């Protein structure tokens, strides 16, 4: 096993151990639940015997007063006993309705049971009805609300409801009526349109079903005693229903428990296999080292220097190998302790494929394998864990090369399909037999089989690759034709599965603020703030409530189902007070309970109002920073700036005289910001520009408001570059005059684009001047020295550092030190020396790795 293989194995095991831990916890939860169910089953039994006792008492009482009634009650009791000893629900219900028919004397009986999923009462048991009537009843489920609307106090007898036909509750004719014609009835006799309902009261008092009876043998309207008997039988139906539900739940829990136990055992088995594999890997180099050291010791003083040097080389090599293993095991420990986190970031999949192909070249060349990457696009942005994705592709590539004989070919193909990116790794190798292909992804399947040792690098890697891909919400498949080659296909969602924007189509702040605009709003916020979850809530003035208009990263039912009272919860507080709110750790914040937040995984969130004039029209919420760090004050001021532009865009689009064209301009401005943010994120962790700029701004003594403006301007300053064709910046050499024209106009273009949403003239000024030089030789206006706004001078420095350390396709990236030297060299004619000085101090002081870019990272 190679050390790459082993580190894959370690990672795989870490996943397993992590999973095993989770299983164990859920197992104990399960057990707790089961214990609870058993307790309530015992309780249920108590209830049963209590009911039996009560019935016995009733029986005794009644026996004395009426022989006939006693006879009926005996039947009831007999049936009740048989009911309780029988757990087949349908049979029980059948017996109950027949007991009602036989013992109480109603010829027609219907029993309906609530289906908690559909929220309607379904016909489940019948007596005295023909097939046609039953079919009709089975076809119509009575919705809970409808049933409840019939239960009026005026109809109440005991716990039941008698609805006389004179009340005409269903008008002249009840469409749901199932009773056959009972013939002429005298005044005061039971009428065919009379209705008697006996609710089956569940634990909380609501009806889990009901009995409906008709056509009493004695033609009488129900007397209290008769209703009481019906209620006794109804209670038995309740017990039977609850018991049946309990048994079902118990069975479910049991099978879940069994499954979990099985899985835990399986994991344990895998774990011990793994331990023995790791142990083997560790012992081998130790054995080699021990052997060579011993041999050297025995030959001290030998004249054979060549041999000694050889032995020392082997010892050194093996020591290195051992060291790598130990590092990997330490990683594993960290993994196991649950500190491991997937870190998602946006990156270009094309770059990763190129990188992997580059790494694999040296192993393909000796075998004269043609290694190629084929793609129809230059850029596919994924939001995923870059390192893990690279490991998956590297592993697939390594396997492909290993199994491909000399002179073959290994090809990486990239294609996109809707919101998915697909990487296909194809080889012309020996292939995989059909019976093996099902199992190549099984964990540890091959680790002990001959195949993996014959071809090191296969076996463990695929199972971990599968875990990683599935972790990202993707899929990995294998196809092969033995003797001709294999094809592995990795499909990954371009953005996490729940990241699409959902809009809720009920209401808009104004008719002319289109769904499109609100959608863009939320997309812009999510992109600029680097938040996985973003939502836009609007104020429903009539109801004094907030509802979600558009969201990214929330499930549809949350979007459609959430309503928050003004003043309640976080968004409600923000809407009521018109103030932003930053919660770095919601569990520690005494202002808010944990309730209503189950859909959010992180503890940090940020909420700002959207105001038109002084009126709060909505709230923007963001949660879950993609970097997994909490939101900061800086994020709050940036989001506040964005919310102000959003309000501005809405106003612009919905002004009285607004033309379609003006609405279009507002959407264009937001779209341009989104586009710009996405483009710059490919180069740099989003928000870094703004972070650096504000740090420098503060150091130069800008106040809070000025800093806020600077942060926003730094975020969007290059928005005008969207119109410069991207190829231009990727080519070396001088720009031709036409391109130069485009580049020179980008500050003005940006200002123009943002105009519909910009209300602060400073922002436009800053953007316009960010390419001016101190000596007046900048563009577009050739401003000099202090004529250039200070924030523009700051952005110029931060931007220059950025582009130097990042490099261009035609120019290598500079190290931090070199870039700083270059800034100092140009301080004076190009940059403001005080800004450069402040920037240097910021960079020197910060320990934030996001701010200091190492050449490797670039």
The residues that touch another protein, with contacts defined as CB under 8 A, are: 276, 279-284, 286-292, 294-295, 298, 314, 318, 450, 453-454
CB of 19 to another protein, least distance (A): 24
Please say which residue, 53 or 320, places its beta carbon nearer to another protein. 320
Cβ proximity to another protein, 315 vs 670, nearer residue: 315
> What is the C-alpha separation between 51 and 48, in angstroms, rounded?
5
Look up tokens 């979990």; give the residue. 260
- In the complex, the smallest distance separating the C-beta of residue 267 from another protein, rounded to whole angstroms, is 19
Task: Give the Cα separation of 808 and 22 in Å (integer).
Answer: 45
Cβ nearer to another protein, comparing 446 with 623: 446
* In the complex, least distance from residue 448 CB atom to another protein, rounded to whole angstroms: 8
Given the complex with another protein, which of 292 and 712 has the nearer CB atom? 292
Judged by beta carbon, residue 292 or residue 488, the one nearer another protein is 292
Q: Is the peptide bond before 780 cis (omega within 30 degrees of 0)?
A: yes
Minimum distance, C-beta of residue 831 to another protein, in the bound complex (Å): 59
8 A C-beta contact, residue 693 and residue 655: no
Shortest spacing between CB 481 and another protein, in angstroms: 25
**Least distance from C-beta 294 to another protein, angstroms?**
6
Burial 579-604 (b: 16+ CB within 10 A, else e): ebbbbeebeeeeebeeeebebbebbb
Nearer to another protein, 293 or 374 (CB): 293
Token duo for residue 526: 């999510």
Dihedral angle sign, alpha carbons of residues 636, 638, 644, 650: negative
3-state secondary structure 318-336: HHHHHHHHHHHHHHHHHHH
How many CA atoms lie within 13 Å of 503's alpha carbon, on the beta-carbon side?
A: 15
Burial class (CB in 10 A: 0-12, 13-18, 19+), 174: middle
Residue with Cβ nearer another protein (162 or 292): 292
d(CA 414, CA 377): 8
State which residue, 291 or 496, has the beta carbon closest to another protein.
291
- Residues 6+ positions from 401 with CB-CB distance below 8 Å: 360, 363, 364, 367, 369, 371, 410, 427
Least distance CB 295 / another protein (angstroms): 6
* Neighbouring residues of 661: CB distance < 8 A, sequence distance ≥ 6: none
Question: In whole angstroms, how close is the CB of 6 to another protein at the nearest point?
Answer: 13
Smallest separation (angstroms) from another protein to the CB of 296: 10
- Residue 166 or 454: the one with the smaller Cβ distance to another protein is 454
State in angstroms the smallest separation of the CB of 314 from another protein: 6
CB of 273 to another protein, least distance (A): 11
Distance CA 681, CA 848 (A): 18
Is the Cβ of residue 335 or residue 455 nearer to another protein in the bound state? 455
Closest CA to 550 of 537, 533, 562, 563: 537
- Judge contact between 58 and 232, C-beta under 8 A: yes
Q: How far is CA 427 from CA 35, 359, 478, in A?
A: 55, 17, 12
In whole angstroms, the minimum distance from the beta carbon of 450 to another protein comes to: 6
Query: Phi and psi (nearest 5°) for 421?
Result: -110, 140
- Report d(CA 525, CA 631) in Å as an integer: 14
State the Cα–Cα distance between residues 596 and 537, nearest whole angstrom.
15
Considering the complex, what minimum distance in angstroms separates the CB of residue 325 from another protein? 13
CA pair distance 95, 233, nearest whole angstrom: 10
Q: How far is 103 from 77, CA to CA, in rounded Å? A: 10
Our CB check for another protein shows the closer of 284 and 348 to be 284
Q: How far is CA 456 from CA 6, 282, 445, 460, in A?
A: 10, 16, 14, 10
Nearer to another protein, 312 or 786 (CB): 312
Structure-token match 């076996």, residue found: 459
Q: For residues 454 and 614, which CB has a smaller minimum distance to another protein in the complex?
A: 454
CA distances from 713 to 182, 211, 523, 528, 610 (A): 84, 70, 19, 12, 19
Over the Cα atoms of the chain, what is R_g? Answer: 37
CB 3 → another protein: shortest distance, Å? 14
By C-beta, is 82 or 290 nearer to another protein? 290
């Amino acid at each position: 096993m190679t050390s790459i293989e082993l580190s894959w194995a370690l990672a795989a095991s870490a996943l397993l151990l992590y999973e095993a831990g989770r299983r164990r916890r859920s197992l104990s939860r399960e057990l707790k639940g089961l214990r609870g169910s058993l307790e309530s089953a015992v309780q249920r039994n108590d209830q049963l015997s209590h009911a039996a006792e009560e019935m016995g008492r009733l029986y005794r009482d009644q026996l004395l007063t009426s022989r006939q009634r006693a006879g009926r009650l005996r039947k009831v009791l007999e049936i009740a006993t048989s009911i309780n000893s029988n757990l087949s629900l349908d049979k029980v219900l059948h017996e109950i309705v027949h007991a009602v028919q036989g013992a109480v004397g109603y010829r027609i009986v219907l029993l309906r049971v609530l289906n908690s999923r559909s929220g309607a009462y379904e016909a489940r048991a019948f007596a005295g009805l023909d097939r046609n009537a039953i079919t009709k009843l089975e076809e119509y489920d009575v919705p809970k609300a409808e049933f409840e609307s019939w239960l009026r106090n005026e109809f109440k007898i005991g716990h039941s409801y008698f609805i006389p036909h004179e009340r005409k509750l269903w008008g002249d004719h009840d469409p749901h009526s199932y009773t056959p014609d009972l013939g002429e009835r005298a005044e005061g006799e039971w009428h065919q349109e009379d209705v008697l309902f006996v609710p089956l009261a569940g634990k909380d008092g609501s009806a889990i079903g009901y009995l409906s009876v008709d056509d009493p043998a004695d033609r009488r309207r129900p007397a209290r005693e008769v209703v009481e008997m019906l209620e006794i039988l109804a209670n038995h139906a309740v017990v039977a229903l609850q018991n049946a539900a309990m048994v079902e739940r118990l069975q479910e829990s049991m099978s879940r428990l069994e499954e979990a136990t099985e899985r835990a055992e399986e994991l344990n088995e895998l774990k011990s296999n793994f331990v023995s594999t790791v142990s083997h890997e560790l012992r081998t180099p130790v054995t080699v080292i021990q052997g060579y050291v011993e041999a050297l010791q025995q030959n001290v003083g030998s004249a054979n220097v060549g041999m000694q040097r050889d032995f020392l080389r082997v010892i050194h090599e093996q020591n290195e190998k051992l060291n790598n293993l130990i590092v990997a095991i330490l990683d594993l420990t960290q993994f196991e302790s649950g500190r491991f986190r997937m870190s998602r970031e946006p990156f270009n999949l094309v770059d990763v494929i190129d990188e992997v192909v580059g790494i694999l070249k040296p192993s393909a060349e000796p075998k004269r394998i043609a290694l190629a990457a084929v793609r129809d696009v230059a850029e596919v942005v994924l939001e995923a864990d870059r390192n893990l994705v690279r490991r998956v592709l590297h592993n697939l590539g390594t396997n492909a090369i290993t199994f491909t004989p000399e002179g073959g070919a290994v090809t990486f193909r990239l294609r996109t399909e809707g919101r998915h990116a697909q990487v296909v790794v194809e080889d012309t190798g020996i292939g995989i037999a059909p019976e093996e292909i099902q199992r190549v992804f099984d964990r540890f399947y091959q680790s002990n089989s001959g195949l993996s040792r014959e071809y090191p690098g296969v076996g463990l890697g695929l199972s971990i690759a599968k875990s990683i891909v599935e972790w990202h919400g993707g899929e990995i498949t294998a196809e092969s034709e033995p003797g001709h080659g294999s094809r592995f296909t990795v499909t990954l969602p371009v953005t996490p599965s729940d990241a699409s924007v959902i809009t809720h189509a009920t209401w808009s702040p104004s008719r002319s603020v289109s769904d499109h605009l609100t959608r863009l709003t939320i997309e812009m916020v999510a992109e600029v703030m680097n938040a996985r979850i973003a939502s836009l809530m609007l104020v429903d003035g009539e109801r004094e409530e907030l509802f979600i208009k558009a969201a990214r990263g929330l499930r549809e039912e949350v979007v459609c189902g959430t309503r928050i009272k003004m003043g309640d919860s976080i968004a409600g507080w923000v809407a009521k007070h018109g103030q932003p709110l930053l919660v770095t750790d919601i569990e520690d914040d005494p202002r808010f309970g944990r309730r209503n937040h189950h859909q959010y995984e992180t503890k940090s969130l940020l909420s700002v109002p959207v105001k038109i004039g002084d009126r709060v029209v909505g709230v923007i919420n963001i949660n879950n920073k993609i970097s997994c760090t909490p939101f900061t004050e800086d994020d709050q001021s940036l989001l506040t700036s964005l919310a102000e532009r959003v309000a501005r865009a809405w106003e612009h689009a919905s002004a009285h005289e607004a033309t379609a064209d003006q609405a279009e301009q507002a959407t264009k401005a937001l779209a341009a910001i989104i586009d710009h943010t996405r483009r710059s994120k490919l180069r740099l962790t989003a928000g870094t520009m703004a972070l650096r700029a504000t740090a420098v701004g503060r150091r130069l003594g800008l106040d809070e408001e000025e800093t806020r403006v600077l942060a926003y301007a730094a975020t969007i300053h290059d928005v005008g570059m969207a119109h410069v064709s991207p190829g231009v910046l990727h080519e070396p050499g001088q720009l031709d005059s036409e391109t130069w024209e485009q580049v020179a106009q980008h500050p003005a273009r940006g200002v123009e684009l943002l105009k519909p949403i910009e209300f602060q003239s400073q922002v436009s000024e800053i953007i316009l001047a960010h390419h001016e030089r101190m000596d007046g030789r900048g563009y577009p206006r050739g401003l000099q020295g202090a004529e250039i706004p200070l924030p523009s001078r700051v952005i110029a420095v931060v931007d220059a550092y950025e582009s130097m350390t990042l490099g261009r396709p035609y120019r290598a990236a500079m190290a931090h030190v070199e870039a700083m030297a270059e800034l100092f060299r140009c301080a004076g004619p190009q940059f403001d020396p005080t800004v450069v000085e402040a920037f240097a101090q910021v960079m020197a002081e910060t320990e934030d790795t996001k701010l200091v870019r190492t050449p490797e990272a670039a």
